Structure formats: C-alpha cells, structure tokens
Amino acid sequence: MEKNIECDETINNKYLVEVQGLKKYFPVRNGFSKKTAKNVKAVDGVSFGIKKGETLGLVGESGCGKTTCGRTILKLYEPTGGKIIYDGKDITSLSSNEMLKYRQRMQIIFQDPYASLDPRMTVGDIVGEPIDIQKNMTKKERNERVHYLLNKVGLNSEHA
C-alpha cells in the first residue's frame, strides 16, 4: 500500500529542518524619502521539510529567489514571515550570535561552481575553509579532519 507524504507529515513526523510559509520581502524606497513605496517579494510562502541525511536542491530560473531562500533560512537575511525549525527548535527569532552554532551545521552550495570555488585553492583548502572560520581546532586536528573527509568521499590525502 502506498502512502502519499505531504510536506508537513513524515513517517516518523521528524524533520531536521522544517520551513513553514517562509517570506522575505525587500523594501523599495521612494526617491529621496525614506518611505517604503512597495516591497519586492523575493520569497513568498515557501514550505518544505528535510529529514536527517537528505539533501534539498532548489531549482528555478535566475532571479526567482533560490539564493535568497537559502540565505533567509540561515538567517543571513532576516525573514519577513514564516518559521524556520531546526532539530525541533524554532530558530526564526534567534539573534546573530545565537545562530552561530546552527550555521556550523548548515551549508549552502551555489549552482555555479566557477563562481563559488577559487581555482587557486586546493581541494584540502576548500574543505578546510569552514573549519578555519570556526577556529575550534588545532592545525593538526584540522588537517586530520580534512584528510578524513576527503577519504570519506573517495579522495586520497594527496588530493589535499
């Protein structure tokens, strides 16, 4: 027997990331005045759930809001409306400092690898960059982690 699973229902009712009615509007100012003439609706009512181990790809035309949606979920942009739930906790209203620990576990991968990846960096540098930013490992621990991750995806330490 098949069962259709809606966005708000899983077999175990547990999402790692759940987005409910996410909105991000950008104000358009009117000339020299500071008044908002109108809003551009970059993201308007997006909902989905991601279970542990799943990957979500957002696909659409250029300028349709894919990147804005991702940045809003990470709270690099403040949401205009909706809810963002991570591991059962509503993170929608967390401050930038409170979001740091959540951002360590989330990642946006952009569609254009040539614009996202620096060709002057080695694979090891690219994999190690998030570790360097977090500053929570020694150089030895960082290198061991990078080599572990490379091996996990079938690359040798020499690729670092």
Pair (45, 66) in one structural domain: yes
Pair (126, 156) in one structural domain: yes
> Which positions ≥6 away from 50 have C-beta within 8 Å?
15, 16, 17, 18, 56
Residue where a domain terminates, one of 116, 133, 151: 116
> Which positions ≥6 away from 121 have C-beta within 8 Å?
129
Domain with 9, as residue range(s), is 1-116
Pair (85, 151) in one structural domain: no
Output the six-digit token pair for 67: 């990147």
Domains held by the chain: number: 2
Pair (136, 122) in one structural domain: yes
Strand partners, 43: 24
Pair (125, 57) in one structural domain: no
pLDDT per residue as tens digits for the range 41-78: 999 999 999 998 888 888 888 889 999 999 999 999 99
Residue-wise burial string across 11-27, b where 16 or more C-beta atoms lie within 10 A, e elsewhere: eeeebbbbbbebbbbee
Query: Is the pLDDT score of 11 beyond 70?
Result: no
